[in-house]
Amino acid sequence: MSDHKLTPRKIQILKAIVDAHIAHGEPIGSKYLSQATGLTCSPATIRNEMADLEEMGYLAQPHTSAGRVPTELGYRLYVDALIHQYNVTKSEIADINRQLSYKLSEMDAILAEASRLAASNSDYTGIAFRSSATGARVSRFNSVYLGPRDFLLVLSFEGDIVKSKTVHLNFHISEQSLIRFTELLNLYLVNLTGDEITMPTIVRLEALMGGAAGMVHPAIKEIYEAMSELDTADVRLDGITKLLQYPEYSDMTKFRGLLGALEEKDVLVDVISSHSGDSDGIHVYIGKEGDGDVMSDTAMIFKNITVGTSQIAIGVIGPKRMNYSKVIKMIAQLSEELDRMLASDVDALPPGE
């Protein structure tokens, strides 16, 4: 590498090339830059600067007669130092607020809606992530009487996570029995992990329920299942087929490799989990910064949100030439709205009656 310095003019030209490549997906030449951008220097000067940027590792030339494309180093500089905030239009902000205006009481619903919104507002693949909650403890039980043989059990966990389970019985119960059972669950099972719900505790619940003792085991089974679901990190993807509109994914062999990695989700879990607890900024992975060859043509942008003791993340996956400025601003806005609604909506459920 030479001793060329990254001057303000070189930075301006690099930014113009990244912007143009994001917009058109083609190698960018000096003639285009001199005619279609706000650069005031001559085509010859632009060519010399582009050659320097290539030698410095910020640009690459796919073919001898072609223009240049940004390298991962070029994208990294663009993301870290060159981005001007994208001015989200009032209509985009209103759309996000409108779609998030209803109560989001369950984490599953939050993840599904967050990944959908990230995809629909970016035209890339949306990601929503929830960290595992090993040793999850229920902070409150609520219930809803559905009929003589069915009731809804609502479990509020530490970290403001809410799960609901429908319990089916093979005998009839009254609403009063359900009220009594819910009171006992809050008395004996609150703040216990699954390992701490022991057989003596279950036997005690059965004894206290008397003639309705048969509802204890089906309910405990659903409680264990809800706790087990929280022990595994969850990743939701929305709009995977959106990637097919970009030429970078026209090679179906490479696309299938990427698709396999996304469906396995281990790559995403590893990358996002490496920033667990860091909710201060937006994280950008470009190409092989993500996971070797599988992500070589791909970029991932996400932001963590801390919810009590839990961690969720919202982001997108797309080509390396994605519109970083717009996506970063959108992720920041969406994360802010989710954070606000999570803070205000977690106590929306009525008390168990």
Could you tell me the pTM of the whole model?
Answer: 0.66
> How far is the C-alpha of 67 from the C-alpha of 340, rounded, in Å?
45
- The rounded Cα 6 to chain-centroid distance in angstroms is 35
Please give the DSSP secondary-structure letter assigned to residue 85. Answer: P
Strands (E), the chain: 59-60, 69-70, 125-130, 138-147, 150-157, 161-168, 234-238, 282-286, 298-307, 310-319
pLDDT at 74: 92
pLDDT at 91: 65
pLDDT at 78: 87
Looking at domain 8-82, does it have CATH number 3.90.1300.10? no
90-131+233-343 belongs to which homologous superfamily?
GAF domain (3.30.450.40)
Look at the block and give the residue holding tokens 């985009």. Answer: 92
Using DSSP's 3-state secondary structure scheme, residue 215 falls into: helix
Which tokens hold the place of 281? 């900024």
| Burial class of residue 307 (count of CB atoms within 10 Å of its CB; 0-12, 13-18, 19+) | buried
Strands (E), 148-226: 150-157, 161-168
Q: Nearest 5°: phi and psi at 288?
A: -70, -5
- The rounded Cα 280 to chain-centroid distance in angstroms is 15
| Burial class of residue 338 (count of CB atoms within 10 Å of its CB; 0-12, 13-18, 19+) | buried
Please give the DSSP secondary-structure letter assigned to residue 174. Answer: -
Q: Are the C-beta atoms of 104 and 288 separated by less than 8 Å?
A: no
pLDDT at 82: 57
Q: What is the DSSP string of 221-276?
A: HHHHHHHHHHTS-EEEEE-GGGGGGSGGG--HHHHHHHHHHHHH-HHHHHHHHTTT
The ranges assigned to domains in the chain are 8-82, 90-131+233-343, 138-230
Q: What is the DSSP string of 279-341?
A: -SSEEEEETHHHHGGGGTTEEEEEEEEEETTEEEEEEEEEETTS-HHHHHHHHHHHHHHHHHH
Topology of the domain covering 138-230: Enolase-like; domain 1 (3.30.390)
In order along its 353 residues, the chain shows pLDDT tens digits of 445 788 888 988 998 999 999 988 889 998 888 888 778 888 889 999 999 999 999 999 888 767 899 999 999 888 876 555 555 555 666 666 666 554 444 666 777 888 899 998 888 999 988 776 666 788 899 988 888 999 999 888 876 677 888 899 999 999 999 999 999 999 999 988 888 888 999 999 999 999 999 999 999 999 988 887 776 677 889 999 899 999 888 888 888 888 888 887 777 888 887 776 665 678 898 887 655 567 788 999 999 887 665 678 899 999 999 999 899 999 988 888 887 776 665 444 333 33
